[in-house]
Amino acid sequence: MVGKQKTAIQISLMAVMSALVSVGTLIVQIPNTMGGYFNVGDVMIFVAALTFGPLVGGVAGGLGSAIADVISFPVFAVPTLVVKGLEGLLAGLVTSKKSVFRDVLAVVIAGTEMIIGYFLVEVYLWGVGSALAEVPANIAQIAVGGLVGIPIALVLRRRLPEILRE
């Protein structure tokens, strides 16, 4: 029964965290120069990955962000599924869930992947100049995601029952 219970919990966490990533992406949208927007979805991606691990982080990051893009910026839905999914996966793989240093390292590594991933997509869509113009907004988004997401993950890891944190 433990295996089935763990699977049910993982699926539930993926669904809930995907929804929270999507809402975090949609609720705060500050337009940037390229027609995209700054959002706080990365906060929830890092909360998911640092608290619940790479599987929940990857699914929530990819699926939650892609759903938001289908609603507000459809051209990016498929690239977002990949880029944000990898972001959540990497953050979950790098964190040890015991060290703030590893949490910061997880945000830096996953954030770097996100910045490079979107840069490559934007170069393909709009050219190098336009893609470079997006880099500062993506850096800011990761910085906010880490500065807010890490403390939330720390609190959740202390307060949630063990079965949810495995």
Domain with residue 66: its CATH number is: 1.10.1760.20
Whether residue 147 is contained in a domain is answered as yes
Q: Which one-letter amino acid corresponds to residue 89?
A: L
Can you give the pLDDT at residue 35? Answer: 64
> Does residue 36 lie in a domain region?
yes
The residues of the chain scoring below 50 in pLDDT are none
The answer to whether residue 41 sits within a structural domain is yes
Could you tell me if residue 16 is inside a domain? yes
Cα separation values, 45 from 14, 75, 94, 132, Å: 11, 21, 14, 24
61 and 84 Cβ atoms separated by less than 8 Å = yes
Q: Which domain holds residue 23?
A: 2-158
Residue 77, pLDDT score: 97
Contact assessment for residue 40 and residue 148, using Cβ atoms and an 8 Å cutoff: yes
Query: Is 131 part of a structural domain of the chain?
Result: yes
Q: What are phi and psi of 113, to 5 degrees?
A: -60, -45
Instruction: Give residue 166's pLDDT.
Output: 62
Would residue 109 count as lying in a domain? yes
Residue 32: what pLDDT? 72
Positive or negative: CA dihedral 151, 156, 162, 166: negative
Residue 22 Cα distances to 76, 88, 155, angstroms: 14, 14, 22
Sequence-ordered list of residues with C-beta below 8 angstroms from that of 52, at least 6 positions apart, any chain: 13, 17, 92, 164, 165
Q: Nearest to residue 37, comparing CAs of 46, 47, 25?
A: 25
* Predicted local distance difference test score (pLDDT) of residue 38: 78
Cα–Cα distance measured from residue 143 to residue 41, given in angstroms and rounded to the nearest whole number: 12
Inside any domain, residue 163? no
- Asked whether residue 81 is domain-assigned, the answer is yes
| First-to-last C-alpha distance (Å) of the chain | 16
Query: Considering its fold, how many domains does the chain have in total?
Result: 1
96-127 b/e (C-beta count within 10 Å ≥ 16 → b): ebeeeeebeebbebbbebbbebbbebbeeeee
